[in-house]
Amino acid sequence: MLDFDILEYQERLERTKKSMEKQGIEVLLITDPANMNYLSGYDAWSFYVHQMLVVIIDEPQPIWIGRYMDATGAKSKTWMYDENIMAYPDYYVQSDRYHPMEFVAEILEEIGHGNRVIAVEKEQYYFTAKAYEVLKAKLPNATFKDGTLLVNWVRIHKSDQEIEYMRKAAMIAERSMQAGLQSIHTGSRECDAAASIFFELVKGTEEFGGDYPSIVPMLPTGENTSTPHLTWSDAYFEEGNSVIVELAGCYKRYHCPLARTAFIGQPPEYHHRLASIVAEGMEEVIAKVKPGIYLEELEEAWRKSTRKYGIEKESRLGYSLGLNYPPDWGEHTASIRKGDKTVLQPNMTFHFIPGIWEDHYGLEMSESFRVTETGIELFTNYPRELLVQSPFQLPDGSNGIIS
Amino acid sequence: MLDFDILEYQERLERTKKSMEKQGIEVLLITDPANMNYLSGYDAWSFYVHQMLVVIIDEPQPIWIGRYMDATGAKSKTWMYDENIMAYPDYYVQSDRYHPMEFVAEILEEIGHGNRVIAVEKEQYYFTAKAYEVLKAKLPNATFKDGTLLVNWVRIHKSDQEIEYMRKAAMIAERSMQAGLQSIHTGSRECDAAASIFFELVKGTEEFGGDYPSIVPMLPTGENTSTPHLTWSDAYFEEGNSVIVELAGCYKRYHCPLARTAFIGQPPEYHHRLASIVAEGMEEVIAKVKPGIYLEELEEAWRKSTRKYGIEKESRLGYSLGLNYPPDWGEHTASIRKGDKTVLQPNMTFHFIPGIWEDHYGLEMSESFRVTETGIELFTNYPRELLVQSPFQLPDGSNGIIS
């Protein structure tokens, strides 16, 4: 039932404890669902209520704390003993009288850790300002530290098994992109294309099924290509529309994102030109990737390449990537941008997405990659160009790409 | 481009300000994406970075603050003037040196509100413990209050237009349930059924498209029916499996959830019996719904009905429902449970989901409903019974329900 060998979970835990030791942390309260999964195997859509994994520096197993109805799932999906699964009653859920962190504080006191150095993930979606206030009030003898990203930084080094999962996610990403592009023509609505993409993402292949991506497919169309995070509407596609397709295949919560830009009909020359500038910049970056360099050197390569065409990019070029849950598939650690001194090492993985968003038009092309012993492995294999689409669905249903 | 008349947004803002006044709040910092959408119209998958809507008691329009690349979307998707859209540069994003709340604090100081009574949503997914720490440090002259759920309680009263959107979501929910059940047979995998459901959810109808639901379809199968929040696997369905299907249709971010339990092949008598006990309890509750009663009276009706069969339910029976974003479609205000003194009023809407999770088996049937002037309107119309499925796909593709 576990997605990884139990030894892999234990090795992850050891690396986490080493980092805790270095930072003087005795008890780490983990509320990021990806970090919980990474260390315990727990995978469920229960992160909309409070839950956590408690890692105690001198205990061999973490403790899972969550809602009563989710404890059965925690027992079956984690490698820990059943007595390390602890559940709070339902009256704590979304209540104006009780808070689950009161329950957590009581447990920590009971098992003798109420007076230790406790770290919480302060900058994390599922750890609220209120949760922290309650913990501090109920554990007056604890010393609190910030444990944000501690486990995320452990996650940045992927195992071969994790890479294998990302390769499967990549296969799903390619198929989903193809299905989406087939649905982009004037007889189809944005929601129809999004539906086709979702179908492939979740179905996966004959050999293995897909998982839900942490971000829904983005499909900004026409003027909306100038803004990256609008989701689909039910408008029909029109000849002359640009359409950005940004999606991620997902396998056992491991992601492989892929973005491309399509044009319905014959694009203005400028669109082709922008696409080839971006493609050239991407080539320069891809050629540069190898162990030992700083991440910011990739940004520098991009800047050098595109500056000569007058392209200035305000936002970062990408980020570390892997296991995640909504609302984000990025790991929030290393970013491909100026000033990032992360040194590239084998089995680090990134989404490289140099999106260009102008006032009335935008273009996205992206690659997800792994750093190898000597260079780079691209996870997907998809033409890196503006994808010119026939406006009409062809009789053989092939539609799709005409150039 | 707006989903509601501008007057409706302004009326919502007025009701929000009245509640602020009552609670002595001068400036409300809204970070819940549903609350942001409710008051401004803003709808994008950008909530994975910090963003907010600032409501100032003596200003006619809210201020949107978010990431630079999302500002174009905010200008096009909200009713406010462009100068009320303020964006922070990308170096604030997921940085270890800068925090977007520093930018927010600077703006509040600059426009003269740094020393007022400021409320934040302390118990909300997208407002982190760190965000609150930064705000408090950077606004030493402000008085901070808790504004959690202030706008959510305004949202509990739906307009007729909102109800219309929920009815559309209901049509999508019914179709998606049907598509899912058609895919539940021994030739199909859990991921195939989930893919069929997702396809219908996103495609919607010929007349209007679907939106992504705030929770993915749940599909616990076999022993996993004993735990409610596990998502699908790629295992093939087997004769003798129970399958719980919990999904929500979504239209313009308004949800209509629907849950049913299917059985592949001939179910043990006990499963039928449990389903009819639950159905009887649901009938009692449905008969009771009308304006003027306390929400907890619904729980009492359920308890009276099911106690005589020895059924005890640990968790709440449902919750207020409507507009939302991942990770939850519930509104976090009123719950159908003992002690909830919310008085039912017309156009309140709820998801009534009396799930039963036993050690090795679980059963879910649910109804989403609206309180009317005199009683209840059920949003969906789906048989309230254990759905017995043929194990095999029939030659006409109809499979699905055999009893």
Q: What's the angle, vertex CA A23, arms to CA A18 and CA A26, rounded to 5? A: 75
**A residues 147-166 closer than 8 Å to B (CB):** 148
Tell me, what's the pLDDT at A393?
A: 76
Tell me the average pLDDT across A284-307. 97
**pLDDT digits 0-9 by tens, B179-206:** 999 999 999 999 999 999 999 999 999 9
For the record, the structure tokens of A219 come out as 């499909």
Ordered DSSP codes for B318-340? EEEE-B--TT--EEEEEESSTT-
The answer for residues whose C-beta is within 8 angstroms of residue B326's C-beta and 6 or more apart is: A326, A327, B214, B215
Tell me, what's the pLDDT at B393?
A: 76
How deeply is B378 buried, as exposed, middle or buried, from its count of CB atoms within 10 A (0-12, 13-18, 19+)? middle
Q: Is A362 within 8 Å of chain B by CB?
A: no
Residue B81 above 70 pLDDT? yes
Distance CA A376, CA A216 (A): 27
pLDDT confidence tier of residue A105, bands split at 50, 70 and 90:
very high
B43, B45, B118: best mutation site toward chain A, by most A Cβ within 10 Å? B45
Residue B287 contacts residue B374 (beta carbons within 8 Å): no
Residue B6 above 70 pLDDT? yes
Q: Is B233 within 8 Å of chain A by CB?
A: yes
Place of tokens 């396809």: B199
Tell me, what's the pLDDT at B279?
A: 97
Chain B: residue whose CA lies nearest to A124: B128
Tell me, what's the pLDDT at B397?
A: 62
Residue A79 above 90 pLDDT? yes
pLDDT confidence tier of residue B84, bands split at 50, 70 and 90:
very high
* Beta strand ranges found along A2-127 (DSSP E): 27-30, 52-56, 63-67, 85-88, 117-120
**pLDDT digits 0-9 by tens, B374-387:** 999 999 999 999 99
**pLDDT digits 0-9 by tens, A184-203:** 999 999 999 999 999 999 99
**pLDDT digits 0-9 by tens, B147-162:** 999 999 999 999 999 9
- Closest CB to A122: pick one of B43, B128, B229: B128
Min Cα–Cα distance to chain B from A297, Å: 17
Percent of the residues in chain B that have a pLDDT greater than 70, as a whole number: 98
Exposure b/e, A362-392, CB count within 10 A at least 16 = b: bbbbbbbbbbeeeebbebbebebbbbbbbbe
Tell me, what's the pLDDT at B314?
A: 82
Distance CA A297, CA B67 (A): 24
Q: Is A182 within 8 Å of chain B by CB?
A: no
Residue type, B284: E
Place of tokens 């509040």: B108
- Least confident piece of the model among A84-88, B224-228, B378-382: B224-228
Residue A279 above 70 pLDDT? yes
Tell me, what's the pLDDT at A399?
A: 63
For the record, the structure tokens of B361 come out as 């088996």
pLDDT confidence tier of residue B227, bands split at 50, 70 and 90:
confident
Tell me, what's the pLDDT at A390?
A: 86
Residue A401 above 60 pLDDT? no
Query: Which letter does DSSP use for residue A306 in this model?
Result: H
Tell me the average pLDDT across A256-279. 96
Distance CA B102, CA B134 (A): 7
The count of other CB atoms within 10 Å of the CB of residue A276 is 14
- Closest CB to B69: pick one of A200, A223, A228: A228
CB contacts of A228 in chain B (<8 Å) are 69-70
Residue B395 above 80 pLDDT? no
**pLDDT digits 0-9 by tens, B213-225:** 999 999 999 999 9
Query: Which letter does DSSP use for residue A14 in this model?
Result: H
Q: What's the angle, vertex CA A200, arms to CA A248 and CA A238, rounded to 5? A: 85
The answer for residues whose C-beta is within 8 angstroms of residue A3's C-beta and 6 or more apart is: A41, A43, A165, A252
**pLDDT digits 0-9 by tens, A122-157:** 999 999 999 999 999 999 999 999 999 999 999 999
Do residue A227 and residue B316 have CB atoms under 8 angstroms apart? Answer: no
Tell me, what's the pLDDT at A360?
A: 86
Percent of the residues in chain A that have a pLDDT greater than 90, as a whole number: 92
Percent of the residues in chain A that have a pLDDT greater than 70, as a whole number: 98
CA atoms within 13 A on the CB side of B54: 24
Tell me the average pLDDT across A156-182. 97
Residue A395 above 70 pLDDT? no
Residue A336 contacts residue A299 (beta carbons within 8 Å): yes
Residue B146 above 50 pLDDT? yes
pLDDT confidence tier of residue B1, bands split at 50, 70 and 90:
confident
Distance of CA A395 to the CA centre of its chain: 38
Give me chain A's average pLDDT, please. 95
Residue A269 above 60 pLDDT? yes
Tell me, what's the pLDDT at A398?
A: 60
Q: Which domains does chain A have, with CATH numbers?
A: 6-155 (3.40.350.10), 160-389 (3.90.230.10)
CA quadruple B157, B162, B163, B168: dihedral, nearest 10: -150
Min Cα–Cα distance to chain B from A115, Å: 21
pLDDT confidence tier of residue A403, bands split at 50, 70 and 90:
very low
As a 3-state breakdown, chain A gives helix, strand, coil percent values, each rounded to 5, of 35, 20, 45
Full strand arrangement of the beta sheet holding B85-88: B85-88, B63-67, B52-56, B27-30, B117-120, B143-146
Residue A83 above 90 pLDDT? yes
Min Cα–Cα distance to chain A from B102, Å: 14
Do residue A234 and residue B204 have CB atoms under 8 angstroms apart? Answer: yes
Looking at this predicted complex, what is its ipTM? 0.96
CB contacts of A219 in chain B (<8 Å) are none
End-to-end Cα spacing for chain A: 45
Residue A16 above 80 pLDDT? yes
As a 3-state breakdown, chain B gives helix, strand, coil percent values, each rounded to 5, of 35, 20, 45
Q: Is B136 within 8 Å of chain A by CB?
A: no
- Least confident piece of the model among A176-180, A221-225, A332-336, A389-393: A389-393
Tell me the average pLDDT across A110-128. 97
Chain B: residue whose CA lies nearest to A357: B69
Do residue A69 and residue B212 have CB atoms under 8 angstroms apart? Answer: no
Do residue A228 and residue B122 have CB atoms under 8 angstroms apart? Answer: no
pLDDT confidence tier of residue A397, bands split at 50, 70 and 90:
low
Residue B330 contacts residue B319 (beta carbons within 8 Å): yes
Tell me, what's the pLDDT at B356?
A: 92
Distance CA B101, CA A122 (A): 14
Q: Is B66 within 8 Å of chain A by CB?
A: no
Chain B: residue whose CA lies nearest to A231: B44
Min Cα–Cα distance to chain B from A396, Å: 22
Chain A: residue whose CA lies nearest to B71: A227
